Amino acid sequence: MTSIAPVSPTDLNHRRRTLRRQRRVRFFQSGWRRIAVLGLAAGSVWAATLPAWVIREPEQVEIEGNRLISPQALRSRLPLTYPQSLFKIQPQAIAEALKSEAPIAQATVDRQLFPPSLTVRIQERVPVAVSTSSGAQSTAAQSTLLDESGLLIPLKSYTAFNQNFKLPTLKVTGKPESYRPYWSAFYQTLLQSQVKVLEVRWDDPSNLMLKTEFGIVHFGAYSANFPNQLRRLDQMRRLNSRINPNQISYIDLSDPESPKVQMNASKTPVKLGTP
């Protein structure tokens, strides 16, 4: 059986003094940490009140990424009062306010201390077409705008920020709920095509019609085959050399493998061969 060696009174006193010294060290370390945290907090409060780190005028707000909306118009809509400490400004709140006030898809706000300023970076919703409901007159007051994603935006959302705003040249008619699910892919196809399209007529979902450089073209119901139909139309550029364009009522491309031309003076469409 292992015996335990007795501990002398001197050793016990030495151990007690060591433990007391360690407790004092830990106490002072904890105290210094608290003092340091309080000092940082006080320093932050003091820094926030420094007159140098204050936004005093709208010109200290820099706008980046804008094309359609003027910087002055955007600055006027910022939820800021001047002067205001940089440290009291809430960037996320400003970004959300801008997106609700203006046709903006994304917005970020950054603070700079030297020199004191704000940088607002925005991504505008760029309108690509004028959308009018079936049967409505195509006037500026009745029109809404359509961006690439298919979002409908009131015209006044742009004119309120830019008095010189110009409408897109492309026009779309029909009920937005009929074409909105397809608009993004549809518009990308138009961008990639060499065919010039002036107007999109989606009044009848079973027969999409485009007003193009070739005249009116019928495509039937919109489908995944639309890019092929548009390519087939591009291949028909020599049609005007064979048929007087003034005699054409419309081109039927519902079957791109067998395109037809409806003549004004005929009730029977003319089938076209391979271009």
- pLDDT of the chain, 275 residues: tens digit per residue: 455 555 566 765 666 677 677 676 676 666 667 776 665 655 555 554 555 789 999 999 999 999 999 899 999 999 999 999 998 999 999 999 999 989 999 999 999 988 899 999 999 999 999 998 755 444 444 579 999 999 999 999 999 888 889 999 999 999 999 999 999 999 999 999 999 999 999 999 999 999 999 899 999 999 999 999 999 999 988 776 667 777 889 999 999 999 998 888 766 665 665 44
Residues composing the chain: 275
CA angle, residues 121, 127, 131, in degrees to nearest 5: 150
Which domains are assigned to the chain?
A: 54-124 (3.10.20.310), 127-271 (3.40.50.11690)
Tokens of 245: 């364009």
pLDDT of the residue at 6: 59
Q: How far is it, in rounded angstroms, from Cα 122 to Cα 106?
A: 6
Task: For residue 14, give the amino acid letter.
Answer: H
Cβ–Cβ under 8 Å, residues 262 and 252:
yes
pLDDT of the residue at 11: 60
Please name every residue paired with 173 in a beta bridge, in sequence order, or none if there are none. Answer: 132, 201
Q: How far is it, in rounded angstroms, from Cα 100 to Cα 247?
A: 50
- CA 114 to chain CA centroid, Å, is 30
HEC-encoded secondary structure of 112-132:
ECCCCEEEEEEEECCEEEEEE
For residue 81, is it left (φ>0), alpha (ψ between -120 and 50) or beta?
beta
Which residues are within 8 A (CB) of 43 and not within 5 positions of it... i.e. 6 or more apart?
Answer: none
pLDDT of the residue at 57: 93
pLDDT of the residue at 141: 44
Whether this model's pTM surpasses 0.85: no
End-to-end CA distance of the chain: 109
Q: How far is it, in rounded angstroms, from Cα 194 to Cα 128?
A: 17
In our burial notation (b when 16+ CB lie closer than 10 A, e otherwise), range 35-50 reads eeeeeeeeeeeeeeee
